[in-house]
Structure 1
Amino acid sequence: MIYEHPLAYVLALEGMALMRSFTGEHDRAFVEARLAEIRRLLDDETLANAAREVARVSTVDGYRIWSRTYDDANSTFAIDEPLIEDIVGGLPAGVALDAACGTGRIAALLAGRGHRILGVDSSPDMLAKARERVPDGDFRPGDLTRLPFPDGSTDLVVCSLALTHAPSLEPVMAEFARVLRPGGHVVISDIHPEGVARGIVPPVRLPDGRPGRVATYQHRIGDYVRAALRANLRVRRCEEPQAADPGPREPRPASVEPWDLWPWCLAGFAPEAARAATKGSPTIVVWEFQLGS
């Protein structure tokens, strides 16, 4: 179980903002405003009485639920897709594996560039949607640590927004390298570790209505590099794009409901602190690796 307390989250935003003030990013008036706001927040019964016990859900169970709405508006897609397209646009068409393919969003992008598509995912519900989206693809159930394809069978592996759900990166990178031909490329997009630390963890509602979060792990930037190097994958490119500055936030909401919008709606309780705490922070990380000979 995960204990989620909205007051704790909002106070954490205040603390992050104050830490930046301590290094000179903000002035005395900003600091005094934050301290006064903290005092008000501590007396806010709306926040004090809204804590939740949240289930930690496996990726298979979580994505079975999420598959129904996964392709709905998702701001992360708009950030990672242009970078993935830019990288794969410079590579020749060949056999491309969409690892953790989900509903086939990236597989469709690769097919449009002339690649022969392989796909793997642990969620049968996601695979069914991928097969509908890319009928000519070869989509198979499987785990990222045991890919159902032979050694040296692919020219390109793309994995989008999935490795935060892997407990360890090393066995996954080793599998990516195993199925690649020498000189082949790996392209990965993932939630940035700073984003995971700020609560960017997929929410789902269990069949009985209880709240749940898909199991997610925080991998540091160095973790990706170390796992890649051990698999004979060398870094070709790394990008850490930021979300656009939303500008001043709306006034605080009248309620902390619905839980499904946590932590985003909670930022409205302390909009200046939230903006200061997250300004300039990367949302995702995008990698390009190449397998050595």
Structure 2
Amino acid sequence: MLELARTRVPHGEFSVGDLASLPVPDDAVDLVTNALALTHVPDLMPAYAEFARVLRPGGDLIISDVHPELVLLGSTVKATGPDGAAQLATTHRHGLGDHLRAALAARFTVIRCEEYPRPAPPTEPLPEPTRDIGEWSIWPWTLLGWDPEASRSAWNNPAITVWHFRLRDHRPDGGTGRNR
């Protein structure tokens, strides 16, 4: 991803960091975006605290992440490991309340929250059920054919949640940005 970003934005500054320890100074940025990453951290509190640390007061945080219902249905990143073996990314099901509690604890105010559904299912007739489990790399979606009617009826669950937060000006530490 970084290689692609550097190619597309050659004058941009990109670095690798941990969500709980970003390589950015305190109060350094006006906007933090995070896409499809928080589902892979076990505890949201450190990430939200770190977002608050690097944002200037009044700065915005935009997060998009896999909806917890989609995680419940089995959505997880699949890949081939360095040894060629199949592997799954560690995935955690964070409810909307989990995000809200972490954000409020980190001094964010909610501006907006939207849940976006998957695209509408096809309207053509249902296929005949299958017992073919398909390739591991696209599970659980290959399993939808086991019971097409049930799959179609469940299709309108949200797939992505998008949050817009704003960092409040008040700092409990007296404005130093430390010890949060």
1:273 aligns with 2:150: yes
What CA distance in whole angstroms lies between the structure 1 residues aligned with 2:30 and 2:69?
31
Greater per-residue helix proportion: 1
Which residue pairs with 1:262 in the alignment?
A: 139
What CA distance in whole angstroms lies between the structure 2 residues aligned with 1:274 and 1:139?
41
Which residue pairs with 1:183 in the alignment?
A: 58
Give, in angstroms, the shift of residue 189 of structure 1: 0.2
Q: Deviations over 1:74-132 (max 9, x none)?
A: xxxxxxxxxxxxxxxxxxxxxxxxxxxxx2xxxxxxxxxxxxxxxxxxxxxxx222212
What CA distance in whole angstroms lies between the structure 2 residues aligned with 1:151 and 1:221?
27
SS in 2 for 1:272: helix
1:160 aligns with 2:35: yes
- Identity, % of aligned positions: 48
What CA distance in whole angstroms lies between the structure 2 residues aligned with 1:284 and 1:244?
11
What CA distance in whole angstroms lies between the structure 2 residues aligned with 1:152 and 1:185?
12
Residue pairs, 1:194-209, within 5 angstroms: 194-209=69-84
Give, in angstroms, the shift of residue 212 of structure 1: 1.0
Which residue pairs with 2:47 in the alignment?
A: 172
Residue pairs, 1:243-254, within 5 angstroms: 243-247=118-122, 248-253=125-130
Which residue pairs with 1:73 in the alignment?
A: none
Give, in angstroms, the shift of residue 222 of structure 1: 0.3
CA contact 2:134–2:143 (8 Å) conserved in 1: no
User: Structure 1 pair 253/133, CA: closer, same or farther in 2 (3 Å)?
Assistant: farther
1:233 aligns with 2:105: no
Q: Deviations over 1:159-208 (max 9, x none)?
A: 01111011111010011011111111000000001111101101112244
What CA distance in whole angstroms lies between the structure 2 residues aligned with 1:284 and 1:184?
23
For structure 1, which segment, 254-263 or 181-190, has the greater mean C-alpha deviation from structure 2 after superposition?
254-263
Q: Deviations over 1:110-160 (max 9, x none)?
A: xxxxxxxxxxxxxxxxx2222122111111121010011111110000101
Unpaired segments ≥5 residues, structure 2: 170-180
Which residue pairs with 2:161 in the alignment?
A: 285
Residue identity matched to 2:91: T
Residue identity matched to 1:251: E
Which residue pairs with 1:108 in the alignment?
A: none
Q: Deviations over 1:186-238 (max 9, x none)?
A: 00000001111101101112244422101111111100000000110010000
Residue identity matched to 1:290: R
Cα RMSD after superposing both structures: 1.5
SS in 2 for 1:241: strand
Unpaired segments ≥5 residues, structure 1: 1-102, 104-126
SS in 2 for 1:140: coil
TM-score (normalizing by structure 1): 0.55
Give, in angstroms, the shift of residue 267 of structure 1: 0.7
Residue identity matched to 2:151: A
CA contact 1:253–1:265 (8 Å) conserved in 2: no
User: Structure 1 pair 154/249, CA: closer, same or farther in 2 (3 Å)?
Assistant: farther
Larger CA Rg, structure 1 vs 2: 1
CA contact 1:249–1:268 (8 Å) conserved in 2: no
Residue pairs, 1:28-43, within 5 angstroms: none
What CA distance in whole angstroms lies between the structure 1 residues aligned with 2:133 and 2:75?
17
